[in-house]
Amino acid sequence: MKLRTLLAAAILAFIAAPARAQENPPPPAEPAAPQAPEPQAQPPAPLPSDTDNSSLIRFAYGGDVAQIPAEFVSNFIFLPVSINQSSPSLFLLDSTSPTSSIDPKRAAAIGLAADPSTGAAENVFIEFPGVRWQVASLRIAPRDGISPLTGRVYQGTLGLDFLSKVVIEIDYLRRTVQIYDPHSYTPPGKRVVQPVKWAGGLPYVPCKFSIHGEHSATGLFLVNSAQSAGIVFRDQFVSAHVRNFEHLKTIPGMYGTDAGVVPAAIGRIESFGVEKFESPNMIAVIPHGAMEDSSNTAATGVIGGAYLRRFVLVFDLPHQQIVFEPNIHFIDRDDAGMSGLTLVARGPNHKTFEVAFVDPDSPAAHAGIQTGDVIAGVNDEAAADLTLDQVQEMFRRLAEKYKVIVVRKDQTLTVNFQTRRLI
């Protein structure tokens, strides 16, 4: 453990050190794929002022920072919020949702009524520990695709209308979230500060990648705090640059979205990174079909939680930038599930773990598990006593043996398998 700590510190010190100038630098390498035209950055928006009555942010005791007791679930981030002094609700932090919203069932449970003319709740106070946000209108709308992916009852979303008014620092290693007043926040040193490129009202940053031993290319990637997968390439981009992907070894898999899980190819690319912070042998997902960011045809893909967890991530959208600082996970091997199962949570309490997909050449498939089966227990633990996140974490462990209770229609089966790397 001491050796790993020293090694990690040395690597992080090396990658954070400024590059030395070269007297005769080599010519730049040819990119692996033609560079897509970049959307223009929006002009910096004025910082929220104390007289902006449409959306006021107030910190307790005249301060300028608050630490929020966040919950991290399968790379999703939930923050506790109180609506008009109600009991706390868990809201998903989503950097790709233009507006914040509350689920209709949760709104009814806390007595929040919609204005008949707008369908939204008007003049709402949203409170975090140490912060109050007064918003003129809060949308009331469901997001039925979130609960199956997280195993949690969906209650609401904090979107870009909130992120654009504060600075949010997400520490995936310590599992903490801090909210800062943008007037007083200054990012610490030894970080990569990426100016945000905007398209369709969503934030993109340039990232470097190498597919299969080719020279590095640069593309625009949507930064999605509400996506579990790490690196996702748009199917349209892959189709346009098929020669660069033709030697990429992939396995079949699934990609989770608000609309449900969709078929995808999963492969391991040579490297991926934000500016100088490049990680080798990263897993990438290529969904078959259109993605949510289809408004930006110049985009290369999306980066989500499995990649972002390697950093302290700062959304400083009032200053039109996103900040990355690598943590100890930066040097981790990138691994996917090792059972071959894609699970979703069903039922009123999201304790029914249904098999949405089985990789045909995987331990689960060879054990006889089929799509539509329900995982009722793992190693003598009832599924009702576990969360979806816990079951998925079990199946990410290498060379572990599992006894799994499976329900198939009116049958109950017991199967055994041992996990292994699939890619």
pLDDT score for 43? 42
pLDDT score for 49? 42
Q: Show which of 123, 151, 180 is a domain's final residue.
A: 180
Q: Show which of 149, 164, 180 is a domain's final residue.
A: 180
For residues 235 and 165, membership in a common domain is answered with no
Average pLDDT of the segment spanning 71-93: 95
For residues 99 and 123, membership in a common domain is answered with yes
Q: How far apart are CA 373 and CA 343, in angstroms?
A: 10
pLDDT of 120 strictly over 50? yes
Kindly report, residue by residue over 305-335, the tens digit of the pLDDT.
Answer: 999 999 999 999 999 999 999 998 888 889 9
For residues 144 and 200, membership in a common domain is answered with no
For residues 219 and 326, membership in a common domain is answered with yes
For residues 250 and 121, membership in a common domain is answered with no
DSSP string spanning 90-107? EEEE-TT-SS-EE-HHHH
Query: What does pLDDT average to over the chain?
Result: 86
310: left (phi over 0), alpha (psi -120 to 50) or beta: alpha
pLDDT score for 128? 94
Kindly report, residue by residue over 156-170, the tens digit of the pLDDT.
Answer: 999 999 999 999 999
Q: Show which of 128, 161, 180 is a domain's final residue.
A: 180
Which CATH number belongs to the domain containing residue 349 in this structure? 2.30.42.10
The residue range of the domain holding 262 is 188-331
* Token pair listed for 219: 């593309």
Percent of the chain exceeding pLDDT 70 equals: 84
Confidence bin at 27 (pLDDT 50/70/90): very low
* Token pair listed for 22: 């070269």
pLDDT score for 258? 83
For residues 175 and 79, membership in a common domain is answered with yes
Q: How far apart are CA 319 and CA 194, in angstroms?
A: 11
pLDDT score for 291? 61
151: left (phi over 0), alpha (psi -120 to 50) or beta: left
Confidence bin at 112 (pLDDT 50/70/90): very high
For residues 113 and 155, membership in a common domain is answered with yes
DSSP string spanning 57-80? EEEGGG-SEEEE--EEETTEEEEE
Kindly report, residue by residue over 48-72, the tens digit of the pLDDT.
Answer: 444 343 458 999 988 999 999 999 9
Global confidence as pTM: 0.86
Q: Give the helix ranges, DSSP H, for 164-275.
A: 235-240, 242-245
Sign of the dihedral through C-alpha 416, 418, 421, 423: negative
Report if residue 128 sits inside a domain.
yes
**Cβ pair 278, 210 in contact under 8 A:** no
Report if residue 33 sits inside a domain.
no
Amino acid at 118: T
Which CATH number belongs to the domain containing residue 269 in this structure? 2.40.70.10
Report if residue 336 sits inside a domain.
no
Which is more confident, 34 or 233? 233
Tally of domains within the chain: 3
pLDDT score for 295? 56
For residues 275 and 300, membership in a common domain is answered with yes
